[in-house]
Structure 1
Amino acid sequence: MDKRTQIIIAAMKLLAEKGVQATPMSAIAKAAGTGMGTIYNYFATKEELINAIYLYIKHSEIELVNKSLDHTASLKSRFFHYYTAFINFYLKYPESFAFMDQFQSSPVITACTKDAGKQGFVSVIALIQQGQEEGIIKQMELEALLIFLGGTVTTYVRWVIGIDVHKREPQQEQQMRLVWDAIKA
């Protein structure tokens, strides 16, 4: 792992755990096993670092989500694949979830960063648009659907993290049915 990634991961964990105000750059440097100068070589400010973490998570998320997607499967099956993959990503990487839960609506994340983060989700957006064109998914503003879906993932993961691992699968199946029923035409 390169130094930049070490810094991003260390900062993500600390920021998610302690928040912005309680996480000085010196603590990030110590956790990353590097000096302050090295951090500032990569990130001029803490805000720049936070935006880099956001993009790191978004890129990691979409990389995992796009793996093993069967493009010949039905639209509903592909939707379930995406939805399940997002949930599984956050369950597998709880520090990423904690960071995104805390920062995704923060004004620290710039509009430019949010736009860059959306670029990887072209396949998800295309799937929703295809579903709308085929009359399978409700005709609603795309942004409203994406906000709804993101909110259901966040709320569900926040809840399911606290339940027994063996009870998660049936809960996830119910969640997927609820979400599908909410967006289908």
Structure 2
Amino acid sequence: MSQEEIIAEKKKAIFASTLELVRENGFHGTPMSLVAKKAGVAAGTIYHYFESKDALIIALYSYLRGKMAEEMLRDDDQTLDYQTRFFNLWKKHFHYFLRHTDVLYFFEQFVNSPYYERCPEKGNDRCQNIIATFLNEGMEKGFLKQMNGKLMSILVNSSVVTSAKIHLTGKVEITETELQQVAQYVWDGIRNNQGF
């Protein structure tokens, strides 16, 4: 294993430990010493990669958003019609959160914390940009209503997050049929009805 691979593995262990501890204890209840212990690395090792807990939390957010972006783009067949691609993207987003519940809850905490304001990638979030670009393309081609792209992106993302949280908390079990219905309601709300 190369030195780069060893470093990458240590960072992954630190990220995985941080993610789990934040879910259990929140940001304030997750000291670097506890992360080091859970990750099986020396406390000094963490500070070698991340100068502070703030830097670690922000780096974790960036890492997770990048991983999510990769998954969102995987298997996006651009030869399909726009509506089909919208449904595929929306449902893929939903299922991602079901498979990665710690990520969903981490994102929720992060965007509602002071960390988000200090995040250098706040305005250049690759994952959010994928959604925004896709929706802007839909508006440009006349498939979607004209609206502030950032606002539409937030509305679509919020519908996914809310649906996933409702399902995960057991308030409502969302079947595949119901998932399709929710995505359809979101689509019906943003699609351009003129000439379609």
Aligned residue pairs, count: 184
* Matching of residues 9-158 of structure 1 within 5 Å: 9-109=16-116, 110-116=118-124, 118-158=125-165
Conserved 8 A contact 1:14-1:23: yes
> Structure 1: any 5+ residue segments left out of the alignment?
none
Amino acid at match of 2:181: Q
Query: CA–CA distance in 2 between the matches of 1:143 and 1:126?
Result: 10
Larger Rg: 2
Query: CA–CA distance in 2 between the matches of 1:20 and 1:166?
Result: 29
Query: CA–CA distance in 1 between the matches of 2:30 and 2:119?
Result: 23
Measure how far apart 1:105 and its partner are: 2.9
Amino acid at match of 1:112: P
- Over the aligned positions, Cα root-mean-square deviation in angstroms equals 1.9
Query: CA–CA distance in 1 between the matches of 2:94 and 2:102?
Result: 13
Of residues 51-60 and 157-166 in structure 1, the stretch that sits farther from structure 2 once superposed is 157-166
Question: What is the aligned-residue identity percentage?
Answer: 29
Amino acid at match of 1:113: E
Conserved 8 A contact 2:13-2:39: yes
Conserved 8 A contact 1:132-1:138: yes
Query: What is the TM-score of this pair, normalised by structure 1?
Result: 0.91
**What residue number does 2:3 align with?**
none
